[in-house]
A and B are shown apart, each in its own frame.
Chain A
């Protein structure tokens, strides 16, 4: 149980295009989802927290107009990287949390974004 999927697993796009990454909780309802980014050989950095049906809360230094987050249902959150540039290339990981286990986050497998 507690499986989180991400789609796509890898994406390559041209500079200036927008890319949407989906995060789904497959067998539980995720009241809260989190988005992280990870640079090579670095740690995860929290980008934003999203609760179903409400606006995402962004961490300091994260551009909300650049990284659009939508959490339209209890099983789906999307991260859209708008007008992507090479410096946006990174590994994006989502996690999901259920109200029944507030101390635990279940992580997705990550999405590798490469912007040419």
Chain B
């Protein structure tokens, strides 16, 4: 079964707005990663947050991690049309890089 599970709702926002996605997982982790997938394409690694970190920033991305709640959030600020994609979180429940991906959250940014 998938260890990381995002909320299944698709998100449609206007360009310039912020987009927030959540992810929950079930096992203890060393780190949690977020990926982006454009339609019919491979995955692009966005950011990795370690279990001893609570928040991490990368450009317009902000990731939080709450290990007590086994949850993470990804915030995209000042969204752009090019941010339209599916976003997945992934954990490494076994500590050997066998990633478990969540269901994904489709974000549509309307120009």
Using CB atoms and an 8 Å cutoff, list the residues of chain A in contact with chain B: 4, 6, 32, 34, 36, 41-46, 49, 59, 91, 93, 95, 97, 102-110, 112
Given contacts A104-B48, A105-B97, A105-B99, contact A44 B43 (CB under 8 A): yes
Contact A42 B98 (CB under 8 A): no
The residue that A46 contacts in the complex, of B40, B100, B104, with Cβ under 8 A, is B100
By a CB distance below 8 angstroms, the chain A residues around B103 are 42-43
Provide the B76-111 mask, 1 if CB < 8 A to any CB of A, else 0.
000000000000100000001111111110100000
Q: What are the residues of chain A within 8 A of B42 when measuring CB–CB? A: 4, 6, 93, 107-110
| Cβ contact within 8 Å between A109 and B41 | yes
Bound CA span A104–B31, Å: 11
**Chain B residues closer than 8 Å to A104, beta-carbon distance:** 45, 48
| A-B interface contact total, Cβ < 8 Å | 57
B44 interface residue (CB < 8 Å to A): yes
Q: Is B27 an interface residue (CB 8 A)?
A: no
What are 30 inter-chain pairs, A to B, with CB distance below 8 A?
A4-B42, A34-B98, A34-B99, A41-B104, A41-B106, A43-B102, A44-B88, A44-B99, A44-B101, A46-B98, A46-B99, A49-B96, A49-B97, A49-B98, A59-B98, A91-B40, A93-B42, A102-B97, A103-B33, A103-B97, A105-B99, A107-B35, A107-B42, A107-B43, A107-B45, A108-B42, A109-B42, A110-B40, A110-B42, A112-B40
| Residues of B bordering A, CB below 8 Å | 2, 31, 33, 35, 40-45, 48, 88, 96-104, 106
Q: For A112, what are the chain B residues with a Cβ–Cβ distance below 8 Å? A: 40
Q: How far is the CA of A46 from the CA of B106 in the complex (A)?
A: 20
Q: Which B residues touch A91, using CB under 8 A? A: 40
Minimum distance in angstroms from B31 CB to a CB of chain A: 6
Lowest 4 CB-CB distances: which A-B pairs, in order? A107-B42, A107-B43, A109-B42, A43-B101
The answer to whether A32 touches B97, judged by C-beta atoms less than 8 angstroms apart, is yes
From residue A47, how far is it (CB to closest CB) to chain B in Å? 11
Contacts of A105 in B (CB 8 A): 45, 97, 99
